[in-house]
Amino acid sequence: MTLAALIPAWSRRACSVALLLVVLIAWPLHAWGAEVLQVRSSSLLQIGDRNRNYTVQLACLEVDPADEQAATEWLKKALPRRRRVNFRPEGVLEGTLLARVTPLGEDQDLSLELADAGLARFTCSAA
């Protein structure tokens, strides 16, 4: 006797419908990810996700004041308005969320990319 024969047909249909509902509900959530609303400085972003806005400071990043303008311009090019991002909170500093920010579809976070571009110093020991 097979496993399919042991499970009643109505139970298999109910499981299929439940799985379909989970997929239909969860799938659009990926498209509703956080997006960049504004680049405020070389390490400060305004990020929103549907109904909340966050002020996010890039974690593990130290920008020399001499490189502030160039780093801000680089960040504005890398993160145009409405660009979707993932952010992983690292902590809070004076009411500002510290987070590692990665544009959707990319592998490396922005703190590392700014450091690789020579516009900042990456201060965390592990990537």
- Report field, pTM of the whole predicted structure over 0.85: no
Give the C-alpha separation, 98 to 22, whole Å. Answer: 32
Whether residue 60 contacts residue 75, with contact meaning beta carbons closer than 8 Å, is answered with: no
Element at 116 (helix H, strand E): helix 110-116
Report pLDDT digits (tens) over 44-70. Answer: 999 998 888 989 999 999 999 999 999
**Lowest mean pLDDT, pick from 8-17, 72-81, 89-98:** 8-17
Distance CA 11, CA 47 (A): 44
Closest CA to 113 of 37, 121, 105: 121
pLDDT score, position 42: 92
* Helices vs strands, H then E, count in the chain: 4, 7
* Structural domains in the chain plus CATH codes: 33-122 (2.40.50.90)
